[in-house]
Homo-oligomer: A and B are copies of this chain.
Amino acid sequence: MTSEHELDLLRQMLRIRRFEEKCVELYSASKIRGFLHLYIGEEAVATGVFQALRPDDSVVATYREHGHALARGVPAESIMAEMFGKVTGCSRGRGGSMHLFDAERHFYGGNAIVAGGLPIAVGLALADRMLGRDRVSVCFFGEGAMAEGEFHESVNLAALWRLPVLFVCENNLYAMGTALDRSEAQVDLTVKARSYGIRATAVDGMDVLAVEAAAADAVADVRVGAGPAFLEARTYRFRAHSMYDPELYREKAEVERWKLRDPITLLADRLRARGDLDDEAWAAMEAAIAEEIAGAIAVAEAAPVEAVEDLTRFVTSEV
C-alpha cells in the first residue's frame, strides 16, 4: 500500500462523511425530503469494496446508498440534485435519496425493498456469464435483510449456478431497532452463508484497508469463476436509522464505544503516526471536499425541476 493510495481512501471516506453531514443540514432546511438514511460510520465498507472492483462491474445497493454512489464515481452534483428533486439529478429527481441510479456506471440503484436487490444482482451476473463477460456483480445489503426469503433464494441461485456475485453484508448490528440477535437465530452470518456451499468471510468493517484486502481476495475468486462469495463487514451506524428514529433501542454508550473506532479517525491516525498526514494536508483535504460539496449544493439549488408534463415519461420506454 502506498500512502498515496491510503490518502485517497481517507479522502473518499471523508468526502462521504461530509456529504452526508450536509445532507442532514439540508434535511433540516427542508431542501431534502422523504426518507434519508445515513451511512455515517460505515464509510469504510463501500470505500474498501470498490477498490476491488472494475468500473464495468455491476452494483446493486440499498436505500442507504449515498456512500456507494459516491465511491462508485456517481458525481456528487448529480446525487445532490437528486435529493433536491431536480431534473439534473441522477434519477431526474424521481428517486430521491433511496433511489440513486447511474446506468452508465453500472450502478443499478438504490433499492428500498429490503433484500429486493439481491435477485437483481444474481441476474446481472447471469447475463455476464451468458454474454461471456468477466464482470462481477456486487450487492450490498444489511444484516437485517438476511432474514428475508429473498436472501435465501438469491444466494442459493448464485451458488447453484456458480455465478460471479459478491454479496456484501453490512452488518451494523441493527435493522432499524432490531438487534441482530433478535432477528437471526444464527448470529454468525458467515455460518449461514457458508451453508450454501460458498466462500464466506467476515472483516472488520471499520478498517478500510482490511475491507479492501478482503474484497480483493473474494473478487479475485469470484471473477475467475469460483462462484459467488459472501463478505460480512462488521460495522456500525453512528446515526439514527433515518431522520425519524428516536433510537430507543440502543444505549448511547454503545454508540460512543463504536465511535472510538470511527473508520476515518482510524485511518487518519495511522497515517499521522506514520507521518503521511499532517494538519495542513488534512485541512487541504477538508477544504477541497467542502468546496466540492458547496459547489454541488449550489448547482443543485440552481437546477430546474422536471416539467410536470413529463410525469408520465418513462413509464414505458420512448421508442
Contacts and interface: CB of A to CB of B under 8 A. Distances in A.
Interface in A170-219: 182-186, 191-192, 194-198
Given A191-B195, A195-B192, A160 B184 contact: yes
A141 to B, nearest CB: 14
Interface string A133-149: 00000000000000111
Contacts of A198: 185
A259 interface: no
A149 B159 contact: no
Nearest to A115: B149
Contact of A195 (B150, B151, B156, B195): B195
Contacts of A278: none
B160 A149 contact: no
Contacts of A8: none
A129 interface: no
Interface in A51-88: none
A155 B151 CA distance: 14
A106 interface: no
Nearest to A182: B160
A105 interface: no
Contacts of A183: 160
A221 to B, nearest CB: 16
Given A186-B197, A195-B186, A148 B159 contact: no
Contacts of A194: 195
B149 A153 contact: yes
A190 to B, nearest CB: 10
A65 to B, nearest CB: 23
Nearest to A147: B156
A182 B157 CA distance: 10
Contact of A196 (B148, B185, B196): B185
Contacts of A148: 149, 153
A173 to B, nearest CB: 16
12 contacts: A147-B153, A147-B156, A148-B149, A148-B153, A149-B149, A149-B151, A151-B152, A156-B185, A159-B185, A160-B184, A185-B197, A192-B195
